[in-house]
Structure 1
């Protein structure tokens, strides 16, 4: 089951039929994609993702290359993408305080309001506006206390060369 997809649909107050229509696919096919009994092709995933304003790779996260997953799973590294509105479109290996099913489609300040989230949003905003990579140490108040992350952000581009968001790689510091 793709809980993140169901949750995103409900948060945007959309029906399965509306998403299917927006992605130009059959509603029954969309329902199978949402409940996880069918996997979309890259083209269909791109159509649904475009309609919902998320990254199509979300549909294939469980199929990432095994070495990548093994290397990063349970590591202190978080990799994420956001759109121009700073809403998460993809995330891998979030901190245990955050559920991937509730992160997608949200901004940092909608997940938690603190100096760390404001600093992270500011870094991503600067990356998008300047078109340049940035790196910054940011402290976040998390369940185990104040946690510092070395955050590297870089712009993301579409095939036409336009900036469409920011990618971040954050490493927890000990």
Structure 2
């Protein structure tokens, strides 16, 4: 298994050591180090504790080995989690950027453009309304603009408290910025 760089980035964003995370999650530091390094997969109880300490949803561990990931690998679908400050805590299948570049950042910190501002408004609306929302958002990438049908819903912890937003974005059209022609998928 590969090193869990997303987990390391979340820990560093909180300015915590492995020992501090382990202590707050009531586990040994060596066990936590093995989790970060991808050597061990934590139990569901430990994933919940780590999620509480580092502000992510425990399902992030389950998603990294999900059999659907093979089917989604080349599909025009982006899956993501963010916290209540709209900072990414997990992302899968993102175009144009390395997924780990997203962790700990908001959409506008990645690229301040109208599409990313619209995506952040959608997520904020989900947090305020405490309900799922579906919208079409167009995101300008380096070589093209992609329109997504974005389904966003509240992400809850074990106690039912909103800890963020989960999104599933399906590509619905691409606009080639060079010649202005649209390819519809």
Q: TM-score range by the shorter chain?
A: 0.7 to 0.9
Q: Is 1:44 aligned to 2:23, yes or no?
A: no
User: Which residue of structure 2 lines up, in the alignment, with residue 76 of structure 1?
Assistant: 76
1:9–1:157 CA distance, 2 compared to 1 (3 A) = closer
Residue 88 of structure 1 deviates from its aligned partner by: 2.0
| Cα distance in structure 2, aligned partners of 1:69 and 1:130 | 30
4+ residue stretches of structure 1 with deviation over 6 A?
A: none
Asked if 1 retains the 8 angstrom alpha-carbon contact of 2:6 and 2:90, the reply is no
C-alpha change, 1:163 and 1:33, in structure 2 (3 Å) is: closer
Match of 2:28 in 1: 26
Instruction: State how far apart, in whole Å, the 1-side matches of 2:8 and 2:144 are.
Output: 32
RMSD (Å) for aligned C-alpha atoms: 1.8
Question: Contact 1:139/1:146 (CA < 8 Å) preserved in 2?
Answer: yes
Unpaired runs of 5+ residues, structure 2, are 174-185
Q: CA deviation at 1:9?
A: 2.1
Give 1:153 shift.
Answer: 1.6
How far apart, in 2, do the equivalents of 1:168 and 1:37 lie? 28
**Residues 126-165 of structure 1 correspond to what in structure 2 (within 5 A)?**
126-165=125-164
Give the structure with the higher percent helix: 1
**Structure 1 residue runs without a partner (length 5+):** none
- Structure 2 length-normalised TM: 0.83
Q: Which residue of 1 aligns with 2:14?
A: 12
> Is contact 1:54-1:105 (8 Å) kept?
no
1:54 counterpart residue number: 56
Q: Report the TM-score, using the length of structure 1 for normalisation.
A: 0.87
Distance 1:7 1:105 in 2: 7
Q: Which stretch of the first structure deviates more once superposed, 40-49 or 78-87?
A: 78-87
**1:69 Cα deviation (Å)?**
1.9
